[in-house]
């Protein structure tokens, strides 16, 4: 899996001017994916304590999976959950998805908007929407248009994310997600939630895993 990072430009300092306040530093980055670097995207990492604003290894696995299985994502409407630095969503838009909806909680979705603006060539196919997992608000119902859902490393609040997934995974929608296996306890909890929500799982066999999650054929609404 090839991915190359080149930081470019100068960092943006955001926040208050007081020395006692935390200053958030925004670091623009450029990533290339694929064997010959055929997909290049621009993202923005924010140096903060918020894990959602960091490009985790699972995001790179998801990006390479999308490129190597482009037939699953081309001409599709795709929702990315927990977008953060938006790597998966940007790659999906780059390989031909008709529409990509980047979602995250409100304070992180602001970073997603900035990243959308950085990728002018993809801007027309990308929208950003704030979303809180486990809350059945109007913004969740607006997302029932997707053919495919993608995400990277989001299984840290399983109950809320599975409630949201169960609502969105109707009519054959498939969820492609990359996950870093950090402990046996985490996997046990994940498998329990899959069973509780009538979902099946296809997985890899490495500590970085690519999952394909579907509703069971006989699930009941």
Burial class of residue 92 in the structure, from the number of CB atoms within 10 Å of its CB (0-12 exposed, 13-18 middle, 19+ buried): buried
Instruction: Give Cα 200 distance to the centre of its chain.
Output: 20
Of 23-32, 120-129, 173-182, 188-197, least confident by mean pLDDT is 23-32
Query: CB under 8 Å to 105, separation ≥6 — which residues?
Result: 52, 130, 131, 132
Query: CB under 8 Å to 124, separation ≥6 — which residues?
Result: none
Query: CB under 8 Å to 139, separation ≥6 — which residues?
Result: 129, 130, 131
Burial class of residue 32 in the structure, from the number of CB atoms within 10 Å of its CB (0-12 exposed, 13-18 middle, 19+ buried): middle
> What pLDDT is attached to residue 206?
54
Where does the pLDDT of residue 41 fall: very low under 50, low under 70, confident under 90, or very high at 90 and above? Answer: very high
* pTM for this prediction: 0.81
Where does the pLDDT of residue 176 fall: very low under 50, low under 70, confident under 90, or very high at 90 and above? Answer: very high
Burial class of residue 163 in the structure, from the number of CB atoms within 10 Å of its CB (0-12 exposed, 13-18 middle, 19+ buried): middle
Give me the mean pLDDT over the 196-204 stretch. Answer: 83
Of 1-10, 31-40, 43-52, 171-180, least confident by mean pLDDT is 1-10
Tell me the domains of the chain and their CATH numbers. 49-215 (3.40.50.150)
Give me the mean pLDDT over the 190-215 stretch. Answer: 80
Tokens of 213: 């999650």
């Amino acid at each position: 899996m090839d991915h190359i990072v080149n930081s470019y430009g100068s960092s943006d300092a955001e926040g208050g001017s007081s020395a006692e306040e935390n200053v958030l530093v925004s670091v623009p980055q450029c990533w290339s994916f694929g064997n010959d670097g055929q997909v290049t995207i621009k993202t923005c990492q924010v140096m903060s304590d918020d894990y959602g604003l960091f490009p985790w290894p699972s995001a790179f696995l998801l990006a390479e999976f999308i490129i190597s299985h482009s037939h699953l994502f081309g001409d599709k409407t795709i929702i990315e959950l927990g977008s953060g630095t938006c790597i998966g969503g940007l790659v999906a838009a780059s390989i031909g998805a008709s529409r990509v909806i980047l979602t995250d909680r409100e304070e992180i979705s602001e970073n997603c908007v900035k990243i959308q603006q950085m990728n002018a060539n993809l801007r027309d196919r990308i929208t950003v929407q704030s979303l809180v997992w486990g809350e059945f608000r109007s913004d969740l119902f607006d997302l029932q248009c997707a053919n495919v859902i993608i995400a990277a490393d989001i299984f840290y609040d399983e109950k809320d994310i599975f409630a949201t997934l169960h609502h969105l995974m109707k009519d054959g929608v498939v969820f492609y997600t990359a996950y870093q296996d950090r402990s046996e306890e985490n996997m046990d909890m994940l498998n329990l939630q899959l069973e509780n929500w009538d979902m099946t799982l296809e997985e890899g066999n490495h500590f970085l895993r690519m999952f394909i999650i579907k509703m069971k054929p006989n699930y009941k609404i």
